[in-house]
Amino acid sequence: MSATDTRPLLSVRDLKKHFPIKGGILGRTQAMVQAVDGVSFDVRAGETLGIVGESGCGKSTTAKLLIGLVDRDEGDIELGGKTLGRDISLRALRRDIQMVFQDSYASLNPRMTILDSIAFGARVQGLDDPVGRARRLLGRVGLNPERFAGRYPHELSGGQRQRINIARALVMSPKVVVLDEAVSALDKSVEAQVLNLLSDLRAEFGLTYIFISHDLNVVRYISDRILVMYLGEVVELAPVDSIWAEQAHPYTRSLFSAMPSMDPDNRTEKPPLTGDPPNPINPPPGCRFHTRCALAADVCKARHPVLAPMAQGSAHWVACHLHDAASGHPRAGQGMPA
Amino acid sequence: MTPLLQIDGLNVRFKGARNVHAINDLSLTLMPGETLALLGESGSGKSVTLKTLLRLLPEKRTDLSGRVTFDGTDIMTLSGRALRSYRGGDVSMVFQDPGLALDPVYTVGQQIAETVMRHKGISRADAMEVALDMLHRVRIPSAERRLKNYPHELSGGMRQRVMIALALACRPRLLLADEPTTALDATVQIQILLLMRELQREFGMGVIFVTHDIGVAVEISERIAVMYAGQIVEEGSTRDIIRDPRHPYTRGLLAANLHEVARGARLDAIPGAPPSLEERPDSCPFAPRCAFALPACRAALPPVVTPGPRRRVACLRADETLEIAHA
Amino acid sequence: MVQVTTDIPVVPPAQRGYWSGVLSRLRRDPVAMICALVLAALILSAVFAPWLGLADPYQGSMIARLAAPGTPGHLLGTDEQGRDMLARLIYGGRLTLFIGLVPVVLAFFIGGTLGIVAGYVGGITNTIIMRVVDVFFAFPSVLLAIAISGALGAGVLNSLVSLTIVFIPPVTRVAEAVTSGVRSLDYIDAARASGANALTVIRVHVIGNVASPIFVYATSLTSVCMILAAGLSFLGIGVRPPEPEWGLMLNTLRSAIYVNPWLAALPGVMIFATSLCLNLLSDGLRSAMNVRD
Amino acid sequence: MLSYFLRRLILVLPVAFGVSIVCFALVQIAPGDPLTAIMPVDATAEQQAAMRAAYGLDKPVPVQYLIWIGNLLQGEMGRSIASGRPVADEVFGAVGNSLLLAAGAAVIAFPIGTFLGFLAGYYRDTILDRAVTALSITGVSVPNYWLGIVLVIIFSVNLGWLPSMGAGPGGSQDWHWDWAHLRHLVLPAVTLAVVPIGIVARTVRALAGDILSMDFVTALYAKGLSRGDVLRHVARNAAATALSVMGLQLGYLLGGSILIETVFNWPGSGFLLSNAIFQRDLPLLQGTILVLAMFFVGMNLIVDVAQAAIDPRIKRS
Amino acid sequence: QGTLRIGMTAADIPLTTGQPDQGGEGLRFIGYTVYDALINWDLTQGDGPSGLVPGLATAWEADEADRTRWTFTLREGVTFHDGSPFNAANVVWNLDKLLDEGAEQYDPRQSAQGKSRVPAIASYRAIDDLTLEIVTHEPDATLPYQLAWVMMSSQANWEALGKDWEQVAAKPSGTGPWMMTSFVPRERAELVPFADYWDETRIPKLDRLVLIPLPESNARSAALMSGQVDWIEAPAPDTIPAMEGNGFAITSNALPHNWTWHLSRTEGSPWNDIRVRKAANLAIDRESMGALLGGLMIPAKGFMPPESQWFGEPTFDVTYDLEAAQALMTEAGFGPENRLSVKALISPSGSGQMLPLPMNEYIQQSLAQAWIDVEFMVVEWNQMINLWRAGAADPSVEGSQSINFTYFIQDPFTGFIRHLDCDLIAPNGTNWGHYCDEDMQALFEEIKTTFDADAQDEVMRRTHEKFVDDALFLMVTHDVAPRAMSPKVQGFVQPQNWYLNFSSITMAE
Ligand SMILES: Nc1ncnc2c1ncn2[C@@H]1O[C@H](COP(=O)(O)OP(=O)(O)OP(=O)(O)O)[C@@H](O)[C@H]1O
Ligand SMILES: Nc1ncnc2c1ncn2[C@@H]1O[C@H](COP(=O)(O)OP(=O)(O)OP(=O)(O)O)[C@@H](O)[C@H]1O
Ligand SMILES: [Mg+2]
Ligand SMILES: [Mg+2]
């Protein structure tokens, strides 16, 4: 599973998307939602990158940017060394990157049999025998093609529909699959079934996943590395064990502390974070987290921290003045208090 | 001590194009001041149980049987004024999606005050004072201003706080909470859970908290009842359920939580899907999905085993130590 | 009188063999079935009128004019020129239903296309189409129909033109709303993510899902259209005599109301019954398609 | 609120401009010569030419439009070709009468429609609901001009209870709020009310039904509120939409009363319009359509703003 | 005593300033009531055709030597409703109002109505207070008929109202037996008697006359039957039995009014063949058609109504004789296998058109039996007027070979000359069919130059005989101007004229 190839399969640089907010008497653009603001990361072949963050932090927008469902304002996307728009067309890119959405029902055309839904992509991309592919995949995701091929989405349970969506994403044999909260709407027991399926498929087809979720347990289970987003930015990016051992960014730490405890004798006593996630319309200057951060200092309001390795050559990256010895933060270089 | 709430042999059946046996022979006891988490998959009948307690089910389309007493009074016989003062006065409810459960065209202040006026018979101005006080108690910043806000002007977390303030405004003795944190972000969820815990202590009321997230149940409850197919399959103190789950379904749920699972390891997923409940179950409803099912499980309803005080498990093999064989 | 409002139908969830599902549910609705039968009878008799052995609807006898319904040889009596009422009512159904249905059909296609394009493409295209639609929406429908017909003058073709113009804007609006609703659904995104171009997505995924709500809406317009068309003829700016058309017959028979009220009421009854059936059928269709409640 | 109002107002301007173009164009596509109506049938060619020049009809169409719109902006709508009177006087007088009629119909239709709709919505899927639905479908299916004729025969001609035509015993100019005048309003207003009763009843039924099935209604009962309290909440929730439907209905009543006004010889805008059509009285036709359409546009604006004022959810978006 | 309320067919109150619009109805209700002409029509008897009688002029005469020079002696002591006296200067002022575009009082609206009615007038002047001279372009004996069109309004009133005709419209002043007291456009006008009217026999007996426009015929009937009006014009024929059954009176009388198909005589028109024209005239069963009109029509025997003083003794008997018609058609080369197709212009409505659609459909059915297939071109009434002015040769008529029109035929010009004069071929005039015939032209000339009234009538009879014998029109019916009224209306005499005398009427309690 670990990548031997050092070159990343997918490389994202400085991705930006600002949505205009229209309003006022003349309906002019009043403000911009900085949904994604300078996101960069690499994903190696066969790796699974987990993305976590609060609601509205730009996870889905990032995912949609990756397959061009939302147009980039800025930034580059490179797949297998080819840059989107320069070396490779969007259409071609979409053969290699596919996506599974959260709402299993809304992501299937209610007027199409599930077989047609799965085969559609293959047909569009001109692959041979789209129906045969679809039937095989249907079997592969655990649904008997004989019984299910002709059914309509509303005749399936949530878990079954999500399997269809996975099959649909796989029909073009993509290299990368983006899963945007693909299991969040499922019941716990069904979620486990689907996670098992995802693991199997990854192994069988050598897939690379970008797995978006707000459930840290799930992300930990499936991912190799975790990317933490806050207000459209990456605040921490690290291998899963490393981040589980030490959350370098105060926000990551709060996020982890917000997980309900599983120990009846050791329940959470103090909320790790107060208030709601702030508004991406007018993000605070400097470090975007400083308004909710217990360790914020003046420098956090003034200067924007950059994402950098914790130590030379470390795979654990963080964007926080605490970890930058030269930042001028009172606790700079000391890391987080225990 | 008399129980605050006692449910005996409750059955709920929905009639219509399709019959649904939503609740089947459910019994439950809640002592005053106790916090019980009702845990179960979607469709297991958690919400229906709560609605039955408030008599909120559509009367024409439901068959109800069984006995429900609240503090000694049979609530199935309540009607008119008595029913109204029971609802919202003695027992109140917090809903899953506060965005849908609040009237969109009244300010939150008006909505809280209205309840208080109806139950306490006080003036509007006084009721507004109570409302303001409640908003302070649920830690809503700048409560005076929020009082005049409409629900859509508040964030999800805020709205759920308002919902809680509304539910507690008349100092009920029992609070029913139907997945109040499911729609919220993890960071907000924990805030709400802690708030509820604190208010429960302060008001001393009993709480039934519906959730499908074991972690949430652990955070909030003293006791847990696990529901499956309209029945309680296991009940006990939170500690016992977490440390020593006896019912295979409870174990499956715990495993699915992924808390302690090794990365990349195969998950002990419960296979299959819950029954449709079009027929009343006459054998263990979990048997078709159960790795340990015996022929006897498919033949008749399982016996209720009571391994300890106030602990029960509806499983033939509750006393065995079972190990799931990995596939 | 009649008017066009756009209440936007909710996108109905599809069923196995969608239309057959709709039909089977419709078949279980007795009111809708009766209406469908009545309408079918009307349409069939209108279509096959020449083969029904009816009297000549254009040729009458002055001596036998204004005979009461039930007169031997004239089951429903005769009109002010002694022409057989039964024949005229049945032949009248041809024209009445024709100008009641054709504008809606045209509006369904034209408005539907405009609305789907506006809703799917969005942006400036949407703005241009929808602003023009807004302008036509600024006219109450009856006023617009009368104004256009009044300007163009009487005649079947002119009536068709004016009624089509009246019904395009509301259909466009509904189509646009439904399409932009559908467009924001994930399955459209999923289809786009497959690399399909806009035309394919519209053809495969959009039309199938917006056509039925637009269709339901359009069926609810047919009765409006029919009453309106008859109203134009009644005013003298619709169909021209001697063509049998119910609105026109109502107009010309008006003065006979004192001589033979039942006779004079017949065209009105036909309009009413047809429009009632259309309304009830469209209601039935709406619930069979599970649109709203 | 004010900014919402202003925003809506600014959106109205292009529509108003479009409306003026449509009104003007409408009349241009009309075949026939407007001047025939006012000249003796055997007027000579040069008399006609002189007339045409006098009315500015000899100029190119765009110039005519510019002149027309320029005059409009100065509140000058020209003169009726047929009567020679200022169009503004003719139209506003007639629209006033139509408004009276529309208001009469609204006074009948809105309360009845609302009541029936609420009843049906509350007792959904009962006999009562079916009855109301049947009634409202009947209301929208009946050609009301025909109904008007029937009512006249019954109540004026046969029973002699109510007058069959006109806006009062002495014409619309000496309108008084007494029975002698109001009885003239009864038949046309009732006839005109039939359609909006149906539409309002259907709308309110759907609204009440939808609202009653919403989660917050369950929550209201859970709070211990009585049925009356809950209905108050439902009414308040339905108010904005119901009022907007009614507002639009008023617009439709005004613009759609032409057939009824013809049947009842009611001196309103529809009556004026039908005369203008048959006489090819271009300035009057344009003026009447324009004023009615503008009234409708204004009505839409008022309805939108009122809806925003009533419904707290709208303003902010 | 009493108030008489009349439901008119007009959609608006006719122009009140003097020269009314709305055709015959305008002159009937607002013209000959509020105003007088120099020469009036005799409206007091209904037994015979009505003729001209002195109005504001007591005598008139064309100069023996110079037939273009007419002298009018005006009535003494006549005053307008505003009290100002009537005199010759006033007549000049009124003629300028219509004819002199430079005059201050020139009113395009009135001029549009009146100017074409007096084509003969070249100049005019007041000789003294009560003597007026009018000079015509050429000798024209029809001048008195022309002057019967011109209404005299008050100069003093106009001046008092700021020389503004619009003001005058609301407060008109004439010399007629009725004064208008109130006026609501499109709704009603109220007239009261003018106590100082010069003809004491015509001082109205009623207290008040109310005119209400009720263009929709059913609304008119309903208004009468529900008691909202006492009198309606042109009741729908089918409502007449019901009205009579309820005690309402129906009055009617012959009217110089002709419902006809004006035939095209352009090159290639089938109507150029007299056999076809005669056949068509013989193919129509006019008596049966009467059923359609509730009997309220006079089957045409010629162009003029049979009682007309100008009917004469034509030899061609206009009657129903299908055999004769078919014989004529055979002679002309047509037959059942070889049918003649013609195209006819008709209009679905129009002032005075009776019931154009059913009547035309009836004719269509009738002609079909004589192997003439009629295809209709149906156009709006206003469009029809345009096509009528354009003439049969104009492309806009799309080859139609006839036009269905109703003609006011009350005087020599409107009755005869305007339809067939070679100088009036459309679009220069109203000779729609482009007919031009030397003999006919000579007859017209003779009418204009015969100054003795009886002799002139004689010429007109000969003219009419030629109209009929040559079957120049498809002669169908004459209107009888039916009106329905409440039994309370008493003392009304319906003359054989477009205009009426309301002075004799009283209302019973
Ligand atoms: N089409 C759009 N127009 C305007 N704003 C948008 C649009 N799409 C997303 N946004 C805004 O961008 C921000 C990021 O949205 P995004 O959906 O990426 O968040 P997310 O992290 O996926 O949240 P969630 O966990 O709720 O799905 C949000 O504030 C959202 O409101
Ligand atoms: N009003 C109703 N009419 C018919 N069936 C109903 C009704 N309400 C609930 N049910 C059915 O009763 C069963 C139990 O539903 P309930 O809402 O209690 O589930 P739940 O445990 O609350 O699930 P969730 O976690 O999805 O909220 C389901 O099968 C549901 O379909
Ligand atoms: Mg998202
Ligand atoms: Mg639930």
DSSP symbols for C104-146 = HHHHHHHHHHHHHHHHHH-HHHHHHHHHHHHHHHTS-HHHHHH
Structure tokens at B195: 């708030």
Instruction: Examine the pLDDT at A24 and tell me if it is beyond 70.
Output: no
Peptide bond into D40 cis (omega under 30): no
Is the C-alpha dihedral spanning D197, D201, D202, D204 positive or negative?
positive
Mutate to test the pocket of ligand 1, among A15, A17, A33, A210 (most ligand atoms within 8 A of CB): A33
Peptide bond into C242 cis (omega under 30): yes
If one counts every other C-beta atom within 10 angstroms of the C-beta of residue A196, the result is 17
Residue E216 has a pLDDT of 80
Residue E38 has a pLDDT of 92
- State the Cα–Cα distance between residues D294 and D302, nearest whole angstrom: 12
> D230: nearest CA in chain B?
B103
Q: How far is the CA of E7 from the centre of ligand 3 (A)?
A: 74
Question: Which of C153, C237, C279 lies at the smallest CB-CB distance from D31?
Answer: C153
Residue E209, CA distances (Å) to B307, C110, E30 in order? 108, 56, 11
- State the Cα–Cα distance between residues C196 and A95, nearest whole angstrom: 11
How far away is chain C from the Cα of E402, in angstroms, using its nearest Cα? 18
If one counts every other C-beta atom within 10 angstroms of the C-beta of residue A244, the result is 14
D146 touches chain C (CB under 8 A): yes
D85 and E429 within 8 Å at the Cβ level: the answer is no
How far away is chain B from the Cα of D38, in angstroms, using its nearest Cα? 58
B187 and A218 within 8 Å at the Cβ level: the answer is no
E218 and D263 within 8 Å at the Cβ level: the answer is yes
Question: Which of D37, D41, D163 lies at the smallest CB-CB distance from E228?
Answer: D163
Q: Whose CA is nearest to atom 30 of ligand 2?
A: B43
Contacting residues of D for E227, CB less than 8 Å apart: 160
Subunits adjacent to chain A (3 or more Cβ pairs under 8 Å):
B, C, D
Render pLDDT for C115-165 as a digit per residue (tens, 0 to 9).
999 999 888 888 888 888 888 888 888 888 888 887 777 778 888 888 999
For ligand 2, whether the C-beta of B120 sits within 6 Å is no
The residue behind tokens 């790796």 is A47
Residue E179, strand partner residues: E192
Q: Which atom of ligand 1 is nearest to the CA of A20?
A: 4
CB within 8 Å of E478: residues ≥ 6 apart: E254, E255, E256, E257, E258, E259, E297, E298, E300, E305
Query: Under a CB-based contact definition with an 8 Å cutoff, are residues E58 and E386 in contact?
Result: no
For ligand 2, whether the C-beta of B47 sits within 6 Å is yes
Pocket of ligand 1 (CB under 6 A): A 19, 33, 35, 53, 55-61, 280
Query: Under a CB-based contact definition with an 8 Å cutoff, are residues C287 and C29 in contact?
Result: yes
Render pLDDT for E275-308 as a digit per residue (tens, 0 to 9).
999 999 999 999 888 877 778 888 999 999 888 8
Helix axes B186-203, A250-257, angle to 10 degrees: 50
Query: Under a CB-based contact definition with an 8 Å cutoff, are residues E223 and E229 in contact?
Result: yes
Residue D278 has a pLDDT of 75
Instruction: Examine the pLDDT at E368 and tell me if it is beyond 50.
Output: yes
Q: Which helix (H) or strand (E) holds A165?
A: helix A158-170
Residue D181, CA distances (Å) to D162, D173, D270, E3 in order? 11, 11, 20, 19
Instruction: Examine the pLDDT at C1 and tell me if it is beyond 50.
Output: no
Structure tokens at A285: 């200057």
Residue B281 has a pLDDT of 86
Provide the percentage of residues in chain E whose pLDDT is more than 70: 99
**Strands E506-507, E489-490: parallel, antiparallel or unpaired by DSSP?**
antiparallel
Instruction: Examine the pLDDT at C8 and tell me if it is beyond 50.
Output: no
Q: Which helix (H) or strand (E) holds A23?
A: strand A10-23
| Over residues E86-92, mean pLDDT | 92
Residue E334 has a pLDDT of 93
For ligand 2, whether the C-beta of B17 sits within 6 Å is no
Query: Under a CB-based contact definition with an 8 Å cutoff, are residues D235 and D242 in contact?
Result: no
Render pLDDT for B134-166 as a digit per residue (tens, 0 to 9).
888 888 888 888 888 888 888 888 888 898 888
Helix axes D269-279, D282-310, angle to 10 degrees: 150
ipTM of this complex > 0.85?
Answer: no
Tell me the one-letter amino acid at B215: G
C190 and A107 within 8 Å at the Cβ level: the answer is yes
CB within 8 Å of B257: residues ≥ 6 apart: A188, A217, A262, B214, B215
Residue B168 has a pLDDT of 86
Helix axes D282-310, D87-122, angle to 10 degrees: 40
Regions in chain D scoring below 70 on pLDDT: 1, 30-44, 55, 315-317
> D280: nearest CA in chain E?
E382
A20 touches chain C (CB under 8 A): no
Instruction: Examine the pLDDT at C75 and tell me if it is beyond 80.
Output: no
- State the Cα–Cα distance between residues A102 and E182, nearest whole angstrom: 77
Structure tokens at E342: 């013609």
Q: Which helix (H) or strand (E) holds A22?
A: strand A10-23
Instruction: Examine the pLDDT at A26 and tell me if it is beyond 90.
Output: no
| Over residues B299-305, mean pLDDT | 87
Tell me the one-letter amino acid at E26: G
Q: Whose CA is nearest to atom 17 of ligand 1?
A: A60
| Closest listed residue to residue A52, CA positions, set A216, A288, A259 | A216
E166 touches chain D (CB under 8 A): yes
Q: Measured in Å, how far apart are chain D's first and last C-alpha atoms?
A: 11
Where is pLDDT greater, at E1 or E325?
A: E325
- State the Cα–Cα distance between residues E143 and E307, nearest whole angstrom: 24
Q: Mean pLDDT score of chain A, rounded to an integer?
A: 86
C-alpha triplet E212, E215, E220: angle, nearest 5°: 70
- State the Cα–Cα distance between residues E430 and E419, nearest whole angstrom: 6
Tell me the one-letter amino acid at E481: A
Report the side by side order of strands in the sheet with B35-40.
B91-94, B174-178, B206-211, B35-40, B223-228, B231-237, B311-313, B305-308
Residue B305, strand partner residues: B313
Greatest Cα pair distance in chain D: 85
Contacting residues of C for A98, CB less than 8 Å apart: 193-194
Radius of gyration over alpha carbons of chain B, in Å? 21
Q: Which atom of ligand 2 is nearest to the CA of B61?
A: 3
Query: Under a CB-based contact definition with an 8 Å cutoff, are residues B197 and B214 in contact?
Result: no
Task: For the full predicted model, state whether its pTM sits above 0.90.
Answer: no
Render pLDDT for E429-485 as a digit per residue (tens, 0 to 9).
789 999 999 999 999 999 988 988 889 999 999 999 999 999 999 999 988 888 899
> D81: nearest CA in chain E?
E109
CB within 8 Å of A25: residues ≥ 6 apart: D3, D6, D7, D10
Structure tokens at A51: 């993305």
Burial of A256 (0-12, 13-18, 19+ CB in 10 A): middle
Instruction: Examine the pLDDT at C16 and tell me if it is beyond 60.
Output: no
- State the Cα–Cα distance between residues A301 and A284, nearest whole angstrom: 8
> What are the helix (H) ranges across E32-151?
32-34, 88-99, 108-114, 143-147
Q: Which atom of ligand 2 is nearest to the CA of B16?
A: 4
Q: How far is the CA of B51 from the centre of ligand 3 (A)?
A: 32
Q: What are phi and psi of B24, to 5 degrees?
A: -125, 105
Residue B171, CA distances (Å) to A51, B87, B165, B168, B289 in order? 42, 12, 10, 5, 43
Residue C15, CA distances (Å) to B270, C19, C36, E253 in order? 30, 8, 22, 74
Check residue E423 and report its DSSP letter: G
Burial of E415 (0-12, 13-18, 19+ CB in 10 A): buried
Residue E213, strand partner residues: E8
D156 touches chain E (CB under 8 A): yes
The residue behind tokens 């728009």 is A85
- State the Cα–Cα distance between residues D107 and D126, nearest whole angstrom: 28
Q: Mean pLDDT score of chain E, rounded to an integer?
A: 88
Render pLDDT for E53-83 as a digit per residue (tens, 0 to 9).
999 999 998 888 888 999 999 999 899 999 9
For ligand 2, whether the C-beta of B22 sits within 6 Å is yes
Residue D43 has a pLDDT of 64
Tell me the one-letter amino acid at C39: L
Residue B325 has a pLDDT of 46
Helix axes D127-141, D87-122, angle to 10 degrees: 160
Render pLDDT for C233-274 as a digit per residue (tens, 0 to 9).
888 777 776 778 887 887 777 777 777 777 778 888 888 888
Residue B74, strand partner residues: B69
Where is pLDDT greater, at D87 or B261?
A: D87
- State the Cα–Cα distance between residues D182 and D176, nearest whole angstrom: 8
Render pLDDT for A189-201 as a digit per residue (tens, 0 to 9).
888 888 988 999 9
Structure tokens at E209: 């006359």
CB within 8 Å of E358: residues ≥ 6 apart: C80, C81, C241, C252, E292
| Over residues C83-108, mean pLDDT | 85
CB within 8 Å of B76: residues ≥ 6 apart: B55, B64, B67, B68
Provide the percentage of residues in chain A whose pLDDT is more than 70: 95
Is the C-alpha dihedral spanning D281, D287, D290, D294 positive or negative?
negative
